[in-house]
Amino acid sequence: MNVVLKNLTKIFPGRNRGDREVIAVKDFDLEIPDGKLVALLGPSGCGKSTILNLICGLETPSKGQIFFGERDITNVPPEQRGVGMVFQNYALYPHMTVRQNILFPLQNFKGRNRLPKEEMEKRALEAARLVKLDNLMSRKPGQMSGGQQQRAAIARALVKLPDLLLLDEPLSNLDARLRLETREEIRRIQKETNITTVFVTHDQEEALSISDMIVVMKAGVLMQLGKPQDVYDDPVNLFVAEFLGTPAINVFAGEVRDGKIMVGDDVIGDAPGIPSQPVDVGIRPEGFIPGGSSMHMRFKALEVMGRDMSIVSESGFSKAPTVRAIVSSSADAAPRDGVITFDIKPEKLYIFGKETGERIYTGRAARQASAVTDKLADSDGLAVPDDLAAPDGIAASADSADKVGGGAGEGGAQ
Ligand code: ATP
């Protein structure tokens, strides 16, 4: 079942008299495709949980509509929405066994929805098998690991055969190893059941690794959506570029001057057709080629991490105290007189408007931008909000792309 959010807005009144109201979600348009796993991603307080609560009916929208398939469920009570929900803190009953916890929602079915006892037992066992807990049915939550408890919570949500599964930070209470295992389990379960699933996390690595699609939010507003790799490769603004990626993208105060991208006196790329102006320059850590000659920085340290190494350096133009380049550990990273020099891979180099933070696309990238939005609109029936289809500063058609960056060579910033 696909889920459509139309112009969804949630405004909370101030908690105390005199407090300002909080716009938790603002004019949110999104189509969640049938059978996909979609992650809502963004910093704390950006409205992720509010969106889940609106979808399952725990909150009512201030404005806008929610559709499950063709059905407008905006005013349907939560228990009639057919949604399974899993929270961060498992919320299992401590005095009940796994079996009793999983059975619990079925025992609450009333009237003609009530199932025969054998059917309930059968479903509970199937759900437990799915999460690989069928051999622990008589354990109580206190006798299980965090990962097992979370799997029991997922089984309890699945036993109702929901059309939609909502997971709110389901891995936050687990230690690092269990997080990894459990997120792979969630992916497996989602693939096996093919239930449309919305997953909330503030952990981008989690989101990037298991989702079919990510939705990056900031202050209640949708910033960008797409396949994880596409969003990483093609951020629409500085916020998304900085939010995705570990280590984070390196950001420098730079400028476009006479069609060249400059950081200080270093010419690090081409931006043909872009008017001269101050810009923020982003370079992904994997975008540095040591031994090149375009960009100069003060060498600080080398951190070898097996196959790769991190070259740590400093630049007076960097927004962060240090700059990180990730290169192969066999690369020549020897500084000369304390200075290390790099060339920059054009596809890992981005420029953003100084005031707006919006991506400034050049040449080939402008063409790619329109191709990406077309692809998103075509694939999986995803809706592309107007502001993504033609973000400010983007030449959204090949035609206009040619106007801004006509004839850009491979050296243009992406
Ligand atoms: P986190 O990752 O920290 O859980 P989140 O992205 O899930 O954050 P929400 O919990 O959706 O964010 O909150 C969005 C905004 O709405 C926040 O500013 C929060 O303080 C506010 N908010 C949430 N619930 C209420 C409420 N019941 N009353 C007033 N404000 C609220």
pLDDT in tens, 355-407: 999 999 986 555 555 444 444 444 443 444 433 333 333 222 333 222 222 23
Q: Tell me the percentage of the chain whose pLDDT exceeds 70.
A: 87
CATH architecture of 3-233: 3-Layer(aba) Sandwich (3.40)
Could you tell me which residue, 366 or 353, shows the higher pLDDT?
353
Q: 10-14, 91-95, 155-159, 361-365: which range is least confident on average? A: 361-365
Confidence category of residue 203, pLDDT binned at 50, 70, 90: confident
Angle between the 398-405 and 363-378 helix axes, to the nearest 10 degrees? 160
Structure tokens at 197: 């699933």
Residue nearest to atom 5 of ligand 1 (CA): 45
The pTM assigned to this predicted structure is 0.82
150/144 Cα distance (integer angstroms): 10
Query: Using an 8 Å Cβ cutoff, are 157 and 106 in contact?
Result: no
Closest CA to 51 of 63, 35, 38, 40: 40
Q: Compute the average pLDDT of residues 15-41.
A: 92
> Which of ligand 1's atoms lies nearest the C-alpha of 59?
27
CA 255 from centroid of its chain's CA atoms: 29
DSSP result, 332-384? ----BTTEEEEEE-GGGEEEEETTT-BB---HHHHHHHHHHHHHHHHGGG---
Decide: 408 and 364 in contact? Cβ < 8 Å: yes
The CB of 45 under 6 Å from ligand 1? The reply is: yes
pLDDT surpassing 60 at residue 89: yes
- Ligand 1: which atom is nearest the Cα of residue 217? 6
Q: Using the mean position of ligand 1's atoms as its centre, give its distance from the Cα of residue 220 in Å.
A: 9
Mean pLDDT of 30-46: 94
Q: What percent of the chain has pLDDT over 90?
A: 62
Please, which residues have CB within 8 angstroms of residue 370's CB and are 6 or more apart in sequence?
394, 395, 396, 397, 398, 401
- Best residue for ligand 1 mutational test, from 8, 16, 50 (most atoms within 8 Å of Cβ): 50
Residues 208/46, Cβ–Cβ less than 8 Å: no
pLDDT of 323 reads 97
pLDDT one-digit tens code per residue, 166-178: 999 888 877 788 7
CA–CA distance, 282 with 295 (Å, rounded to integer)? 13
The response to whether residue 46 sits with its C-beta less than 6 Å from ligand 1 reads: yes
pLDDT band (50, 70, 90) for residue 410: very low
More confident residue, 306 or 54: 54
Average pLDDT rounded to a whole number, residues 90-118:
87
Q: Looking at residue 414, what is its pLDDT?
A: 54
Q: Which atom of ligand 1 is nearest to the CA of 50?
A: 11
Q: What pLDDT does 113 receive?
A: 76
Q: Which of 25, 28, 48 to mutate to test the pocket of ligand 1 (most atoms within 8 A of CB)?
A: 48
pLDDT in tens, 223-263: 999 999 999 999 999 999 999 999 999 999 999 999 999 99
Question: Three-state DSSP class for 112?
Answer: helix
- Residues of the chain within CATH 3.40.50.300 domain(s) are 3-233
Alpha helices in 138-216 (DSSP H): 146-158, 176-193, 204-210
C-beta 2 within 6 A of ligand 1:
no
The pLDDT mean for the chain works out to 85
Task: Please report which confidence band the pLDDT of residue 204 belongs to, taking 50, 70 and 90 as the band edges.
Answer: confident
Q: What is the DSSP letter of 262?
A: E
